[in-house]
Structure 1
Amino acid sequence: MKMLAGKTAVVTGGAGGMGRAHALRLAALGADVAILDIDLAMASKFGEQLTAASVQEELEALQVRAIGIEADLSVENEVRQAVDRISKKFGRIDILVNNAGGAITKIDQSSAVNTSGEDRAVLFAANFDTTVNMCQACSPHLMQRGGAIVNISTIGAFADDLEGRLAMYGAAKAAVEKYSKSLAVELGPYNVRVNCIAPGLIETPRIKALAPSRNLATGHQARTIPLRRLGQIEDVVGVMEFLVSDQAAYVTGESIKVAGGHTLVTT
């Protein structure tokens, strides 16, 4: 029997890239899966090739039930409506993977000094607000049977490059890290585990498409990482699988860096 059979997983930012990979892995493990995204056609924007007409259909091809919901997860009411739809369709929520977000503002205008108030609001809405809204909406369901929350952070919450780029993105994810620890304490008595994954330079379709213009996730940077390579989506997905499984039954309030040792060295 597949280890997640009979369970329901929710993945935000699930219409492409790393979120799609998380959703597919959860479905392969037997879970019914709901994907939430601000744009369910997100994969096509970065040339990602699907194996079916939609991610929902890819999931259903793995012999599980699935639903795709388009919503702005920084808006609390849209989140509540989406979670209500998921609950009514599947009758339960056991796993939440908060993957939505990213460093979505201009990298040359994202330092601690020059990030505008508008960009700061965008980054916190996409990364922190989406996480909090989803955790708050899903927690009552998770508390009924126990379960797992995995919030995707970044190594930028722990370290900066020499130019201090992406400072506000890192700050938003640092807020996710602290919120996750507080949530782990609150939900622990209900057997709900809350952990973070802090990826480094991962070659998602979006990162690969933007790497030249951002000078980020380049071959030169790969050579400065102790493992001498950029991360792959499967590197992160494997850690997610561990954290939602019974193998991590006594792990909560932690953050696992998936970065090839990137934060161990200075460049």
Structure 2
Amino acid sequence: MRIDLTGKVVLITGTAGGQGAVAAQLFAEAGATVVGCDVKPAPDVDRVDLTDEEAVRSWVEAAALRHGRIDVLYANAGATRFGPLEQITSDDWDFNLRHELDVVFFPVKHAWPHLRASSGSVVLVGSTAGMTGSVTNRRVAHTVTKGGVIALTKQLAAEGAAHGVRANCVSPGMIDTPATRGDLLAADHPMRRIAAAIPLGRVGDAEEVARCALFLASDAASYVTGANLVVDGGWSAVLPGVLDPAP
């Protein structure tokens, strides 16, 4: 099935690299006019600090003025700090709230009137971390914020339904990105061998997540709202077996 977004204006956050950059390319290939932003500089990407509400409002309004409408918001951007409960500082806690909840809430809030006008679509990015605990990745603040994103999806679906606005979420498991290669998949991290516990036997890639977001954003998912689509190779659905000791 080919997704056709011709004529649609799509806002995507966090497009300077990783999953956001891949998503921007896929949405553009589907015919959408993509307006991307990131805190990092990159070609054809607006420089926006998504923790600054006024900066977000200005970015959204400029996009709506330039293109006349907003049809889709894909709130992809986020950054996190991992750590066990006893070691999470108030600064770490606040960082996660700002960079995993505020960076979602502000774009949604300011895009919402435009999405109502176009009967548009919202796609948020949760995580399997927002659905389960972990004995190998100490991530108490990350668990809370991603759980909040999943909950926000359901409330947006409720508030948007009367206006034809659909809201859905993709929740990736372990995905191979520049960020995960630097921490969770690094040679010294206990999660590095996680592929052995994933039923499909491997970690995912950014395009596999972006394709799911593309589907949820499109009319192909016209009867889907309030859903949390888990993209994790079966990791969260199946209890792991006994793993051989590390060599």
- Say yes or no: TM over 0.5: yes
Q: Which moved more, 1:20-29 or 1:205-214?
A: 205-214
In 2: Cα distance, 1:217 partner to 1:87 partner: 42
Tell me by how many angstroms 1:166 deviates: 1.2
Task: Show the counterpart of 1:221.
Answer: 194
List aligned pairs for 1:77-92, cutoff 5 A.
77-92=54-69
Whether the 8 Å contact between 2:136 and 2:190 is mirrored in structure 1 is: no
Using the alignment, how far apart are the partners of 1:166 and 1:252 within structure 2? 28
- 2:189 partner amino acid: N
Alignment deviations for residues 100-122 of structure 1 (CA, whole Å, 9 cap, x no partner): 1033x2x3xx2233211100100
Q: Could you tell me how far 1:207 is from its partner in structure 2? A: 1.4
Q: Distance in 1 between matches of 2:210 and 2:23?
A: 6
Which amino acid is the alignment partner of residue 30 of structure 2?
L
Alpha-carbon offset, residue 193 of structure 1: 0.5
Q: How many residues align?
A: 238
2:232 is the alignment partner of 1:259: yes
Equivalent residue of 2:74, what SS? Answer: strand
The equivalent residue for 2:135 is 162
1:118 paired residue among 66, 91, 97: 91
- How far the C-alpha of 1:206 sits from its partner, in A, is 1.9
**TM-score with structure 2 length normalisation?**
0.91
Cα deviation for residue 233 of structure 1 reads: 1.0
Q: CA deviation at 1:245?
A: 1.5
SS in 2 for 1:265: coil
Q: Deviations over 1:201-222 (max 9, x none)?
A: 000122123331661652x210
Deviations 1:8-44 (A, max 9, x none): 0000011111001111111000010111111124xxx
Q: Secondary structure at the match of 2:186?
A: helix
Comparing 149-158 with 238-247, greater Cα deviation is found at 238-247
Match of 1:69 in 2: 46
Which residues in structure 2 correspond to 1:2-41 (within 5 Å)? 3-41=4-42
Letter in 1 for 2:202: R
Ranges in structure 1 where 5+ consecutive residues have no aligned partner: 42-53, 57-67
Indicate the residue corresponding to 2:159 in structure 1.
Answer: 186
In the other structure, the counterpart of 1:59 is none
Do the aligned residues in 1 keep the contact of 2:12 with 2:36 (CA within 8 Å)? yes
Structure 2 residue 115 is matched with structure 1 residue 101: no
CA distance in 2, matches of 1:111, 1:174: 17
Q: Which amino acid aligns with 1:20?
A: A
Letter in 2 for 1:153: G
Alpha-carbon separation, structure 2, partners of 1:78 and 1:214:
38
Aligned partners of 2:58 and 2:145: how far apart in 1? 25
- Give the 3 Å change call, closer, same or farther, for CA 132–214 of structure 1 in structure 2: farther
TM-score normalised over the length of structure 1: 0.85
Aligned amino acid, residue 118 of structure 2? R
Q: For structure 1, which segment, 174-183 or 163-172, has the greater mean C-alpha deviation from structure 2 after superposition?
A: 163-172
Preserved CA contact (<8 Å) 2:136 2:191: no
For residues 72-107 of structure 1, the C-alpha deviation after alignment (integer angstroms, 9 at most, x for no partner) is 11111111111111111111100110111033x2x3
Residue 248 of structure 1 and its aligned partner are, at CA, apart by 0.7
CA distance, structure 2, for counterparts of residue 112 and residue 196 of structure 1: 27
Residue 152 of structure 1 corresponds to 125
> Are 1:200 and 1:262, in contact at CA under 8 Å, matched by a contact in 2?
yes
Counterpart Cα distance in 2 of 1:22 and 1:157 = 22
Q: For residues 3 and 92 of structure 2, what CA distance do their matches in structure 1 show?
A: 43
